[in-house]
Every structure is written in structure tokens, then in C-alpha cells.
């Protein structure tokens, strides 16, 4: 850094002629910068090579060893330098002793030491007054506990432990200084960046001496490592209209406005049920939270077929789809749900890519998140074909309508937007009607109806006006809505 500043100052000063002092200063500065770059490059290369070995000296240890060898082979025999001899042999002895002791202690620790990793959910209350659901949630910290038993880590040594996930994830390093204790404990917070199964595949352990001369590495593999499933936040409580997959527009108006029966249906409590539905007397006796739901006045007919176009970071869209699935189950609708990342080859086998319950839908949205961003229209059309065949086998009728969930944030990607235009064209050619539920994340305040055909069927109450948003999102939403109108596809914008 000082060299860089010196070069900039010397270059900014006015000078006349070609001074030999200035040229020599410039050459020395360039040489120093070149030497510094070579040193750092050599350090990185050497460290990469050493990291592949289970036990090896560090770059510092290699440098000290080479310097000691240089002293005893150069100045000592040529000049009989006593100081160089003492220093050279001391450095060689220090590196040798540190390497051997680290090897022995690391081998003993790896064979006898026990490392255990667990996690816990922090129970807290959100700003909306909702309590955490007791399971890992996107954006909320999960506390990881590391317990080391039978450690007996000696002084002048430190232990570094890093949890390894199946998928890339930035984690801090546990660094434990040597203490002669039977067990050690440490903790850190892990915040899932998006939904999915965050499986810990191993613990990368490094034993180092305090002087940083040698190191011993190994990876702990165990079946008892935690498997953290991060679920999307339950942020949607409003209900979306229900459209079955085998009727035409206008027929299900009576189905949507059917009345509800008496509140005699008792189910397990869900945070979206609210406090008023909780059976407090049952909770006081058994400690179990149950809620009362109104029974439907008639058994609904028809099956809802859904496809969730949720990318890796579309957690709110996944939450919206799960909220709709809960409404379908509460009203006793049958449904088939699939999403981006699902394997089309499994549809005809065991419905592994078509969820029929809330739990299966959650699992599908979590297990497919790593392939969701790489799904193309060819795979989507195969899944839709599989859904159509599955629907025909169950209902003995032809699939005519699919409900799609998509977010404006993902539509802002030009490649994905082009894929959606081609998908709508393919659906139109196959004579499939697509109902598009579009999530506009610029505001959480209203759910509006933006289609004239749909407004004749439904009365969606507008709440507070949306807040000011970026022009790019507004243009994307307008363009996509116009494209839906082009093929006569109804669409709903929800915020």
C-alpha cells in the first residue's frame, strides 16, 4: 500500500527532463511492486498445494525452514558465522518439533476426540405479532451448537472447525484456543438465504500451533450431522380465488361464492388462523393448540392444477402458493401442484413431482430449489404433459386450465421473460387456459384484479394503494399483463 502511494506521488509531481534519480526511483518502485506480487502469488500457490495434504507445514513454516537451510549452507561454512549457525539450526529444530508435535496431537485428537453439531430455533415474536413456527425459516437465524468431548486440547494449539454444507454457503470459522478441559462448546448463527434443504455434509477441522508453523487437517463425516430445512415465511393471510382445471370461465362463480357452514371443524392450529379461532379450553387441559374452522356447506367438486414458477430466491412466491394450498385443503379441494425444478420423468411413476397435500407441496418447493433457476420451457412442458396425463387418469376428463404463480421480480430477467412469452404461446396452441397469479413485491398492501373478464366474475376489494415503485418493475408488469390479454389468459396481481 505504501509503495502504491509512493508511486502515485512521484508520478503526479511535475518534472523536467529525464533525471537519472527519478528513473532509478521509478525502477526501484516497480521492482518492489513486482517482488511483492511474486511473493503473494507464491504464498497463495504454496498454500493451495499444502492445503491438499492432511499434515504439512504452513507457508510460514516452509519459509522458516528454507531460511534456516540457507543459513547453515551459506554464511556458516563460508564465514564461520556463529550467529547464523545458531539461528539456522534453531529454525530447523523449531519447524521439525512443531511439525512432529502437531502430527501426533492431530492424530490423537482425530482418533479420540468427538465432535457433535446440533441446531436450535430461536423462539421470538415478529413485528406483526406472530410467533415463530418452531422450524427454520428463511431470513431468521438458526443457532448451531458445536460440542467437542474428550478434547484435551493442549496449550499453544488452536482448533478451527468449519461446517461444510452440501450446497455452497458462507459460514464463519469456530476457533478454539487450547485448553485442558474435558469438553468444549461453541455456537454461531446460521441464517438461510433462501428456502431449501441445507444439509451439513461434514466438519472441516484444522489443528494449528500458535506460531502458525504446522497444521493437521481432516474432515468429520457422520450420519448424525444436522439436516436443516429452511421454509419460506408465512406472510400471506388473504385468500385467492379458486379455479378448477376442468371448467370454463364463468361456471365456477357459484362455486366461489358458496356459503360456509357452522364452525364445528376442529383442526391443528396454524399461525394464519388467528387468535379468535383457538380453543383455549382444550389448550388449558391438554396443552395442544387447536382451532375451530367453519365446515363447508357443500363438498366442492373439481381439481385444481397449479404450477409454481418460483426461482431460487422467490421465497415469497412460494409462501403465496403454500397459502393457496392451505385454503384448498381447508375447503376440501383436490389439487395437483408442481414447480420449476421438478423432474418430469417421475410424474407417471409415483406422483413424486406432483404434490397433492400441503406437506408434499412444501417438500417439493424445498427439494427443487437448487434446479429451479435452470429449468427451461422444454422441462416445463414435459411436466405440464405429465400433469395432464395424471389428471386424465384421476378425473377421466381432459385438463383445460392450469393456475400459474409467477413473480414480477423474476419476470424482470429478460431471458426468463422471453421463456414466459414462449410458454404462453405453447399453452395457447395446446388449447390450455392459463390463470396467472402475479406477485408484485413492490408493496404488501393490496390485492387487485387487472383483467376485465375476471372482474366480471370476481369482486376483489382494493385496499390501500400501492407505494411508489421502480419504473422497470412497472413496465415489466404492464408488458406481461398485455401479453396475457393477447391470448385471453386471465391474471390476478397480488401484493
Over the stretch 386-412, which tens digit does the pLDDT of each residue have?
A: 888 888 888 788 888 999 999 999 999
Q: Which three cell numbers stand for residue 103?
A: 502430527
For the ranges 1-5, 154-158, 417-421, which has the lowest average pLDDT?
1-5
The number of distinct structural domains making up the chain is 3
For 58-182, strand residue ranges (E) read 114-121, 142-149, 157-165, 174-177
| Residue 169: inside a domain | yes
The whole domain housing 274 covers 261-295
Instruction: Give the Å distances, CA to CA, from 349 to 369, 390, 394.
Output: 21, 10, 14
Which of 27-41, 108-122, 330-344, 411-425 is the most confident on average? 411-425
266 with 352, same domain? no
- pTM of the predicted structure, to 2 decimals: 0.69
196 φ/ψ angles, rounded to the nearest 5 degrees: 140, 175
327 with 366, same domain? yes
| Residue 345: inside a domain | yes
Q: CB–CB of 146/198 below 8 Å?
A: no
Contacts of 80 (CB under 8 A, 6+ apart): none
332 with 388, same domain? yes
Instruction: Give the Å distances, CA to CA, from 86 to 19, 66, 75.
Output: 46, 15, 12
372 with 485, same domain? yes
Which of 249-263, 412-426, 456-470 is the most confident on average? 412-426
312 with 425, same domain? yes
| Residue 224: inside a domain | yes
| Residue 40: inside a domain | no
Nearest CA among 263, 218, 184 for reference residue 106: 218
- Confidence at residue 232, expressed as pLDDT on a 0 to 100 scale: 92
342 with 470, same domain? yes
308 with 286, same domain? no
Q: CB–CB of 228/120 below 8 Å?
A: no
- Which pLDDT band holds residue 461 (cuts at 50, 70, 90)? very low
Dihedral sign of CA atoms 115, 116, 117, 120 in order: negative
384 with 439, same domain? yes
Amino acid at each position: 500500500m505504501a509503495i502504491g502511494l509512493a508511486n502515485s506521488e512521484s508520478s503526479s509531481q511535475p518534472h523536467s527532463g529525464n533525471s537519472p534519480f527519478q528513473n532509478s526511483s521509478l525502477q526501484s518502485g516497480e521492482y518492489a511492486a513486482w517482488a511483492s506480487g511474486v511473493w503473494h502469488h507464491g504464498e497463495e500457490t504454496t498454500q493451495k498445494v499444502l492445503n491438499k495434504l492432511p499434515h504439512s507445514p504452513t507457508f510460514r513454516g516452509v519459509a522458516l525452514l528454507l531460511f534456516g537451510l540457507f543459513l547453515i549452507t551459506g554464511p556458516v561454512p563460508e564465514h564461520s558465522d556463529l550467529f547464523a549457525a545458531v539461528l539456522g539450526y534453531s529454525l530447523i529444530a523449531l519447524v521439525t518439533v512443531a511439525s512432529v508435535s502437531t502430527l501426533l496431537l492431530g492424530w490423537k485428537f482425530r482418533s479420540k476426540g468427538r465432535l457433535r453439531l446440533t441446531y436450535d430455533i430461536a423462539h421470538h415474536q415478529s413485528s406483526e405479532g406472530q410467533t415463530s413456527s418452531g422450524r427454520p425459516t428463511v431470513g431468521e437465524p438458526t443457532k448451531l451448537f458445536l460440542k467437542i468431548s474428550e478434547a484435551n486440547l493442549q496449550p499453544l494449539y488452536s482448533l478451527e472447525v468449519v461446517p461444510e454444507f452440501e450446497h455452497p454457503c458462507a459460514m464463519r470459522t469456530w476457533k478454539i484456543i487450547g485448553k485442558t478441559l474435558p469438553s468444549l462448546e461453541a455456537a454461531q448463527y446460521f441464517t438461510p438465504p433462501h428456502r431449501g434443504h441445507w444439509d451439513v455434509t461434514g466438519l472441516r477441522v484444522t489443528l494449528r500451533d500458535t506460531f502458525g508453523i504446522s497444521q493437521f487437517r481432516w474432515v468429520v463425516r457422520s450420519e448424525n450431522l444436522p439436516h436443516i430445512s429452511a421454509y419460506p415465511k408465512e406472510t400471506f393471510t388473504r385468500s385467492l380465488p379458486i379455479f378448477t382445471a376442468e371448467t370454463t370461465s364463468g361456471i365456477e362463480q357459484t362455486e366461489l361464492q358458496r356459503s360456509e357452514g357452522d364452525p364445528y371443524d376442529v383442526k391443528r392450529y396454524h399461525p394464519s388462523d388467528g387468535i379468535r379461532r383457538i380453543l383455549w379450553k382444550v389448550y388449558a387441559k391438554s396443552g395442544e393448540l387447536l382451532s375451530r374452522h367453519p365446515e363447508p356447506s357443500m363438498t366442492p367438486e373439481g381439481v385444481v392444477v397449479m404450477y409454481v414458477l418460483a426461482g431460487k430466491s422467490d421465497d415469497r412466491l412460494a409462501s403465496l402458493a403454500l397459502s393457496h394450498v392451505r385454503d384448498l385443503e381447508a375447503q376440501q379441494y383436490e389439487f395437483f401442484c408442481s414447480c420449476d425444478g421438478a423432474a418430469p420423468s417421475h410424474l407417471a411413476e409415483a406422483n413424486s413431482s406432483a404434490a397433492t397435500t400441503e406437506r408434499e407441496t412444501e417438500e417439493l418447493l424445498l427439494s427443487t430449489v437448487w434446479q429451479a433457476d435452470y429449468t427451461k420451457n422444454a422441462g416445463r412442458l414435459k411436466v405440464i404433459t405429465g400433469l395432464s396425463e395424471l389428471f386424465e387418469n384421476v378425473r377421466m376428463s381432459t385438463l383445460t386450465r392450469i393456475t400459474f404463480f409467477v413473480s414480477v421480480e423474476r419476470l424482470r430477467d429478460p431471458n426468463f421473460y422471453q421463456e414466459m412469452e414462449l410458454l404462453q404461446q405453447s399453452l395457447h396452441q395446446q388449447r390450455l387456459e392459463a390463470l396467472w397469479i402475479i406477485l408484485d413485491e413492490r408493496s404488501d398492501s393490496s390485492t387487485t384484479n387487472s383483467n376485465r373478464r375476471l372482474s366480471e366474475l370476481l369482486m376483489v376489494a382494493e385496499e390501500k394503494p400501492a407505494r411508489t415503485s421502480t419504473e422497470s418493475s412497472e413496465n415489466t408488469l404492464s408488458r406481461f399483463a398485455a401479453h396475457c390479454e393477447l391470448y385471453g389468459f386471465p391474471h390476478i396481481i397480488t401484493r
